[in-house]
Amino acid sequence: MAKPFLSIERLTQQFPDGAGGTLTVFENSTFGVEKGEFVCILGHSGCGKSTIMNILAGLAEPTSGVVKMDGKHVSGPSLDRGVVFQNYSLLPWLSALKNVTFGVKARYPGWSKDKVEAHAKEYLAMVGLDGEVINRKPSQLSGGMRQRVSIARAFANQPKLLLLDEPFGALDALTRGTIQDELIKVWSQTEQTVFMITHDIDEAILLADRILLMTNGPFARVAESVEITIPRPRNRTEIVEHPNYYAIRNHLVQFLGQRSKELAGQQSHGDDQSPESVVIDKTATPPEAQSEPATLRAVSNE
Ligand SMILES: Nc1ncnc2c1ncn2[C@@H]1O[C@H](COP(=O)(O)OP(=O)(O)OP(=O)(O)O)[C@@H](O)[C@H]1O
């Protein structure tokens, strides 16, 4: 079978536990992300989501295992991978616009100043920022605006992979909703691949093509890959009416509430820990309801 665009192979992370021993956060974790996919990862605090994110970003080296993107080993940071953190991480001395042009210039050194600026403005406009506001420094912007700038900055660099570490964690519910919509708009217009950490089940169902579920640590693993069988475009008020919505939601709640604990702490014993694929689809026609010739049914009933 062809390897996925992003392939995480037998990833193991250990840290000193502070008492002279070793803490195994996860072991032999194996999963993939296809090109253009939007994948969310859900799991309890401390299971290792940020550790995985840091490894994917090239900001940390795993104890063992490899990450490959487009068939090449990921090691060290690269403009091919953009990261958005919860705390915005904008450069405080630069305006919103310059925070975006800064990265674009590095990514496309051959572009003219005008081209860089037009490109940056296009992405800022996609997240609802235009006019004088883009000349303000981060300290003069609201939290929501700052997060819009960091999303625009990450997408404007057109990385092959976007890594979002709880990007809406610090925002109020209303702002969060608006920026989620803007994120989906930019993602669908750019066809970039997104890997996102969130603690919010409803956010994950709204945004993702697929949700990866992690068991609790230590020895955590990505146990399930749940396909979101709800067509796009999705609307936050209408999505709850889709026949699959509550079935998927209940499955996720049940996993996080119960199974993540039951499956916790299982050592891999050297086995490759690939997630089980879960497809919940209430709209699929059950086999018994499929039309069969009446005669055939009569024969099988005998
Ligand atoms: N540099 C480090 N040294 C020692 N232990 C670490 C280090 N980094 C992370 N850990 C431990 O590894 C485990 C996983 O941490 P990580 O931050 O990846 O979890 P998380 O799932 O992202 O949690 P949260 O949802 O709270 O952000 C935790 O037990 C943490 O204490």
* Complex-level ipTM: 0.97
Q: What is the pLDDT of residue 296?
A: 39
Q: What is the pLDDT of residue 126?
A: 86
Q: Which of 15, 41, 42, 213 to mutate to test the pocket of ligand 1 (most atoms within 8 A of CB)?
A: 15
Task: Please check the confidence at residue 284 and state whether its pLDDT lies above 90.
Answer: no
How distant is the alpha carbon of residue 142 from its chain centre? 24
pLDDT in tens, 93-127: 999 999 999 999 999 999 999 999 999 999 999 88
Mention every residue, 6+ apart, whose C-beta is less than 8 A from residue 24. 12, 13, 14, 218, 219, 267
Q: What percent of the chain has pLDDT over 90?
A: 69
Task: Please check the confidence at residue 298 and state whether its pLDDT lies above 60.
Answer: no
Lowest pLDDT segment from 149-158, 218-227, 267-276: 267-276
Average pLDDT along the chain: 89
Helix extents (H) in 34-85:
49-57
Mention every residue, 6+ apart, whose C-beta is less than 8 A from residue 134. 95, 96, 97, 121, 124
Ligand 1 center–CA 103 separation, angstroms: 29
Q: Return the DSSP state at 107.
A: H
Ligand 1 touching residue 19 (CB < 6 A): no
Is the CATH code 3.40.50.300 the one for domain 6-78+193-300?
Answer: yes
Mention every residue, 6+ apart, whose C-beta is less than 8 A from residue 78. 58
**What is the pLDDT averaged over residues 141-168?**
91
At 291, is the pLDDT very low, low, confident or very high (cuts 50, 70, 90)?
low
Ligand 1 touching residue 243 (CB < 6 A): no
56-88 per-residue burial string, b: 16 or more CB within 10 A, e: under 16: bbbeeebeebebbbeeeebeeeeebbbbbbbeb
Q: What is the pTM of this model?
A: 0.90
Residue whose token pair is 């403005």: 121
Query: H-helix or E-strand containing 39?
Result: strand 38-42
Task: Please check the confidence at residue 260 and state whether its pLDDT lies above 70.
Answer: yes
Nearest CA to ligand 1 atom 2: 15
Atom of ligand 1 minimally distant from the CA of 13: 12
